[in-house]
Amino acid sequence: MDLDAPMDAWYVWVGVALVSIGLVAFAVGLPSQPPPDAGRAAAAIDRVGASEHDAVTSLDHGGEAVRVGPERIALRNRGGTDRATLSFGPVLPREALALNSSQRTVLDGVLAGEQPLPGYLHDTISDALESLDTVSGEWRPATDTLRARSVRVDGQRVVLVAV
């Protein structure tokens, strides 16, 4: 009794075609890049938050969208989404501050480490900290660089983050 199928049988060719189509669909469905490393971003923020002195950092993260909260960060791109928990904080995203354009420019200089935090921004940061919830904010478009700086506001260390 012969159980081998002849290679010219139509059902063999249909089976090979279906398997080939399935493999091509699988390969096309794979992400073209790895997801961003939120753990690396969280470690950079935590190094700034753990410092006893005012500290500044910047990090290229590879995310297209970001969600930052006082206790966690999430980064997303076409490769997927990655989340990480922050150990030192509170972390205050720049978007949580109600700033006009000139204040935003000054804060960008503070985050870059070019100047100290001016006194008139202390009240804005204090108000934002009081209204900040523990849930991460909404997804926002991300720049290529994460910037973080620790500052003292009303005797409390706060990590300001712009992504």
Residue 10 counted as domain residue: no
Residue 96 counted as domain residue: yes
pTM of the full predicted structure?
Answer: 0.77
- Amino acid (1-letter code) at residue 84: A
| Structural domain boundaries enclosing 96 | 38-162
Residue 81 counted as domain residue: yes
Residue 26 counted as domain residue: no
Residue 85 counted as domain residue: yes
Count Cβ neighbours within 10 Å for each residue of 33-63 and write b for 16 or more, e otherwise.
eebbbbebbbebbbebbeeeeebbbebebbb
Q: How does pLDDT run across 118-162, given as a tens digit for each residue?
A: 888 888 888 888 877 655 578 888 888 899 998 888 888 889 998
| Confidence grade of residue 43 (pLDDT, cut at 50, 70, 90) | very high
Structural domains in the chain (count) = 1
Nearest CA-CA partner of 93 in 15, 160, 22? 160
Residue 3 counted as domain residue: no
Residue 7 counted as domain residue: no
Q: How does pLDDT run across 6-39, given as a tens digit for each residue?
A: 666 777 788 889 999 999 888 887 777 888 999 9
Residue 71 counted as domain residue: yes
